Structure 1
Amino acid sequence: MQATDHQPWYREPWPWLLMILPLTAVVAGLITAWYAVVSSDGLVADDYYRDGMAINQTLHRDAAAAAMDLDATLRTSADARTLHVTLTGRLAPLPSTLRLSILHPTQPGHDHVITLHAAGNGMYSGAMPGLGNGRWQLILEPPRREWRLTGVWWQPHTRTLILGAKHPAKIRTNNLN
């Protein structure tokens, strides 16, 4: 007769190797469930009907900017810490401040709103936030939101951007100051 060594099952490598794949799937599923619970659904609108009805008001603001022949040239300083805006068109009186919304396309937690203060002759300036690389939506509007100009800012490539009816999202990537 041949003697065999019998070890308990948990001391054998094969059961552990067979259990590792299902165990990995269970751990990954628990991590995914935890992340789904704690993260924000930034792209889901709470009141989609109201948001859809607001499109007509938005189009009205775009038409108002076109009727006034508004153009805005956005330019960053050499150190990219200050944003300078030059507003031209048939707008009198010029607002004392402008509101620039810099919106991330998919993550609303990364959005920024800058208040630009008048420096005279249609020129405005404000602090430029540190933006991550990528595509950013811009909305330039006065405090009472009678009109708006929109465009796309590509970080870090865009240094000068012209917004307006005559120059729809015309982007210059040169190194102008």
Structure 2
Amino acid sequence: MKREQSAKAAPWYREPWPWLLMLGPVIVIIAGVITAYLAVVTSDGLVEDDYYKQGLTVNRRTERDQRAAELGVAADFVLGEEGRRIRILLRLHAGVALPDALSLRIAHPTRPGFDQDVALRAEGGGVYVGTLAPLTGGRWHVSLEDEKRQWRLVGDWVTGTESALRWTPLSRVTAAGN
């Protein structure tokens, strides 16, 4: 009689092993649904819609970088007033006229919502001033160009390390004094 009772086992759904074996695939399916949801709902900040047009402008950008080197463009910039005011001292070869205004672009590598375009106005003597929103700490791509877009300086800047920076053509933005 004891053998008959042991042969009559409980139904499968009352055993722990089938549930334990099904747990893995169920977790994978739930993770897949969550991943698909996030892929559809969130924005791909690093993917550009007009990547082909951007690829075509590479030669033009390189020419502007080389033009900055030919003109001897160099700049020092200082952040003041808790990082809200920026002052740039622009230097060019002798005989080259200073532009009336400059354009500064500060772009975060992964968060396009933090990017800033700052118009800088001349104060005289190669000094340009502008106002920007406070920057979060981290690495930023920085681009400075004249109003006619004939030359530009580009580089990377790590905020929070130094507030005074030196900038020369075809180089990285470096801390002043380096």
TM-score, reference length from structure 2: 0.79
Question: In the alignment, which of 21, 32, 35 is matched to residue 35 of structure 2?
Answer: 32
Cα deviation, residue 57, structure 1: 1.0
Gaps of 5+ in 2: none
Match of 1:63 in 2: 66
Superposition map of 1:1-177 within 5 A: 1-2=1-2, 10=13, 12-77=15-80, 79-90=82-93, 91-95=96-100, 97-165=101-169, 168-172=171-175
The answer (yes or no) to whether the contact 2:116–2:132 under 8 Å persists in 1 is no
Number of aligned residue pairs: give it. 172
The answer (yes or no) to whether the contact 1:162–1:168 under 8 Å persists in 2 is no
Cα deviation, residue 19, structure 1: 2.6
Q: Please state whether the residue corresponding to 1:106 is helix, strand or coil.
A: coil
Q: Please state whether the residue corresponding to 1:92 is helix, strand or coil.
A: coil
Cα deviation, residue 42, structure 1: 3.5
Structure 1 residues 16 and 157, CA, compared in 2 at 3 Å: closer, same or farther? Answer: same
For the residues of structure 1 that align with 2:37 and 2:67, how far apart are their CA atoms? Answer: 47
| 1:75 partner amino acid | V
Structure 1 residues 70 and 18, CA, compared in 2 at 3 Å: closer, same or farther? Answer: same
TM-score, reference length from structure 1: 0.79
Structure 1 residues 126 and 35, CA, compared in 2 at 3 Å: closer, same or farther? Answer: same
The answer (yes or no) to whether the contact 2:137–2:160 under 8 Å persists in 1 is yes
Q: Please state whether the residue corresponding to 1:85 is helix, strand or coil.
A: strand
Structure 1 residues 105 and 8, CA, compared in 2 at 3 Å: closer, same or farther? Answer: same
Cα deviation, residue 9, structure 1: 5.2
Gaps of 5+ in 1: none
Give me the identity figure in percent: 40
Cα deviation, residue 137, structure 1: 0.9
Q: CA RMSD in A?
A: 2.7
The answer (yes or no) to whether the contact 1:160–1:171 under 8 Å persists in 2 is no
Structure 1 residues 22 and 77, CA, compared in 2 at 3 Å: closer, same or farther? Answer: same
CA deviation profile, 1:27-74 (whole Å, cap 9, x unmatched) = 111111111122333443444443222112111211222222111111
